[in-house]
């Protein structure tokens, strides 16, 4: 399959396992250079080795906390310094937290929104000048069905994923004029 990714540079947050790692492998198989981002360097190192072995392509792992804007700026700068450009941002970082309204704490909300909402905003904002410059940039936000049809006791995840869907729709309209495509999966 040719997805037109040959020579593209992609950042995948939450890329050391699960959907993020699978996305990074798929993009590397299509010829993209991938930078995976996570908080645990040992997991990143193992995932980078797996991506390289599976694809024969280029990959790096960067330890960063997407809920910290200075970490995000440094991470994007490192990717651009390494590869000279940035074409694709996959906002996939997240945690799986679910509780009831009665049991949900302010800290639960802060952590979940910090990673999934603020993290997506920080990453998109830092990446945007490079995505615009690419001429065909792309942002992909990972969400869940719970963002549209939440289950009882599914917060704060369902709340933050609903925000992610809203960000996606807003950014898609806003950035179309700059030829930056924004989608959610």
- CA dist 85 and 103 (Å) reads 44
- CA dist 29 and 31 (Å) reads 5
Residue 114: predicted pLDDT: 94
- Cβ of 118: how many Cβ atoms within 10 Å? 18
Q: Give Cα 122 to chain centroid, integer Å.
A: 11
Closest CA to 164 of 126, 121, 105, 106: 121
Residue 150: predicted pLDDT: 78
User: SS3 of 68, please?
Assistant: coil
Query: What are the 10-residue block averages of pLDDT along the chain, 185 residues in total?
Result: 85 96 96 97 97 96 98 98 98 88 92 94 98 96 82 84 94 97 95
Closest CA to 90 of 48, 120, 58: 120
Residue 151: predicted pLDDT: 82
- Residue 178 DSSP class: G
Residue 140: predicted pLDDT: 97
59-63 vs 98-99, strand pairing mode: unpaired
- The CATH homologous superfamily to which domain 9-184 belongs is NAD(P)-binding Rossmann-like Domain (3.40.50.720)
3-state helix, strand, coil in the chain (%, to 5): 50, 20, 30
Residue 128: predicted pLDDT: 98
Residue 1: predicted pLDDT: 64
Residue 57: predicted pLDDT: 93
Cis peptide before 156 (omega within 30 of 0): yes
Residue 4: predicted pLDDT: 79
């Amino acid at each position: 399959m040719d997805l037109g990714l040959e020579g593209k540079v992609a950042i995948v947050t939450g890329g050391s396992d699960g959907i993020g790692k699978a996305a990074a492998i798929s993009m590397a198989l299509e010829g993209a250079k991938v930078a995976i981002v996570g908080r645990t360097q040992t997991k990143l190192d193992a995932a980078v080795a797996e991506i390289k072995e599976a694809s024969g392509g280029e990959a790096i792992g960067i330890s960063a906390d997407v809920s910290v804007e200075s970490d995000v700026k440094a991470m994007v700068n490192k990717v651009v310094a390494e590869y000279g450009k940035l074409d694709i941002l996959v906002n996939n970082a997240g945690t799986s937290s679910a509780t009831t309204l009665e049991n949900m704490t302010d800290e639960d909300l802060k952590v979940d929104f910090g990673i999934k909402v603020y993290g997506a905003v920080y990453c998109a904002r830092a990446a945007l000048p490079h995505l615009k410059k690419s001429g065909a940039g792309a942002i992909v936000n990972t969400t869940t069905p719970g963002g549209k049809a939440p289950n009882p006791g599914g917060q704060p995840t369902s709340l933050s994923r609903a925000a992610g869907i809203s960000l996606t729709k807003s950014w898609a309209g806003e950035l179309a004029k700059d030829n930056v495509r924004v989608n959610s999966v």
